[in-house]
């Protein structure tokens, strides 16, 4: 009985329903499409002061290599100037896309590279050199870092004149570094001639509670002429300007830089893994986005 009455009711309002359907359809046509990926140069960051210039959302099929149009995968195991213990490879076991994230996986395994160097750990190091560089802007990545003694994840930038001028004259901006013995803390740092290595200019940031290693966090810098500001989850915790330099030191952050993502194992700063360090360890990167001033 209810179904009979409903049928009569629908027939009685047939004209009204048709009119309503037309209105809804027209509204749908006029409404902007839902953006499912961040690819348009017109997309802006939350504060509306920046326009997206470049990004990687890591939305390729599971098991894919990092996008070769955006990233070069560096290889080698010579210690990278830091007495690191890993061999960086281009294997999918060490870097791949899965479930919308870039995964950089560090493994405890003996590996001998084509250069004849043998290491007891493997990992990955990706860079945008010669594929994407930018002078000034907002650079950010949403990352869940690995944990454990001897782990050294980083999201950072080098000046694109690195091969011509060398380091530290090219400049280095460490947007995020963590040493595994400090699971609640990250570091933001700049390096240049006269202020590099142990004499670099940086500051730590610690979460009010919990460990940074437990979840994803947004790490970023806003880099403008004569000023670099460091953020974690939108919280400004450090600002660097030429006024921070010692007498005679040169500010070298006035030319394009490229991006680097890597997870080192061991080295002079974090120390080496010990019996408490569990492998494999993964750094998950949800996205990397670079903005220019609006």
Residue 167: is the preceding peptide bond cis (ω within 30°)?
A: no
Could you count the other beta carbons within 10 Å of the beta carbon of residue 74? 16
Cα–Cα distance for residue pair 224/293, rounded to 1 Å:
9
Q: What DSSP string describes 219-276?
A: EEEEEETTEEEEEETTEEEEEE-GGGSPTT-----SS-EEEEEEEEES-TTT----TT
Contact predicate 193/168, CB 8 Å:
yes
* Sequence-ordered alpha helix ranges (H) in 13-128: 14-30
Q: What is the dihedral of CA 79, 148, 55, 84, to 10 degrees?
A: 0
Query: Of 243, 248, 210, whose CA–CA distance to 227 is shortest?
Result: 243
Catalytic residue flag (residue 177) = yes
Angstrom distances, CA of residue 134 to CA of 122, 139, 148: 30, 10, 33
Select which of 57, 140, 177, 238 is catalytic. 177
Q: Is the dihedral of CA 156, 159, 163, 167 positive or negative?
A: negative
Helix (H, G, I), strand (E, B) or coil at 111: strand
Select which of 172, 222, 224, 238 is catalytic. 172
Cα–Cα distance for residue pair 169/192, rounded to 1 Å:
6
Catalytic residue flag (residue 282) = no
Cα–Cα distance for residue pair 204/254, rounded to 1 Å:
24
Catalytic amino acids? Answer: 172, 177
């Amino acid at each position: 009985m209810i179904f009979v009455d409903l049928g009569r009711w629908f027939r009685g309002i047939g004209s009204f329903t048709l009119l309503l359907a037309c209105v809804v359809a027209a509204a749908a046509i006029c409404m902007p499409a839902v953006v499912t990926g961040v690819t348009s140069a017109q997309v802006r960051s939350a504060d509306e002061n920046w326009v997206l210039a470049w990004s990687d959302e890591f939305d390729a099929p599971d098991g894919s290599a990092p996008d070769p149009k955006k990233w070069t995968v560096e290889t080698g195991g010579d210690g990278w100037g830091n007495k690191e213990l890993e061999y960086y490879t281009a294997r999918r076991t060490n870097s791949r896309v899965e479930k919308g994230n870039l995964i950089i996986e560090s493994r405890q395994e003996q590996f001998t590279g084509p250069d004849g160097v043998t290491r007891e750990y493997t990992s990955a190091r990706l860079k945008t050199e010669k594929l994407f560089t930018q002078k000034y802007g907002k650079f950010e990545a949403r990352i869940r870092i690995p944990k454990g003694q001897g782990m050294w994840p980083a999201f950072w930038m080098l000046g694109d004149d690195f091969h011509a001028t060398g380091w530290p004259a090219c400049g280095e901006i460490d947007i995020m570094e963590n040493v595994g013995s400090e699971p609640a803390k990250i570091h933001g740092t700049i390096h240049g001639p006269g202020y590099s290595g142990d004499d670099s200019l940086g500051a730590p940031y610690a979460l009010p509670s919990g460990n940074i290693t437990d979840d994803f966090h947004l790490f970023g810098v806003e880099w403008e002429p004569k000023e670099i500001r460091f953020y974690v989850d939108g919280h400004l915790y450090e600002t660097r300007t030429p006024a921070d330099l010692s007498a005679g030191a040169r500010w070298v952050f006035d030319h394009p830089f490229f991006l680097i993502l890597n997870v080192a194992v061991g080295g002079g700063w974090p120390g080496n893994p010990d019996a408490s360090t569990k492998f494999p360890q993964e750094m998950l990167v949800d996205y990397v986005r670079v903005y220019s001033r609006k």
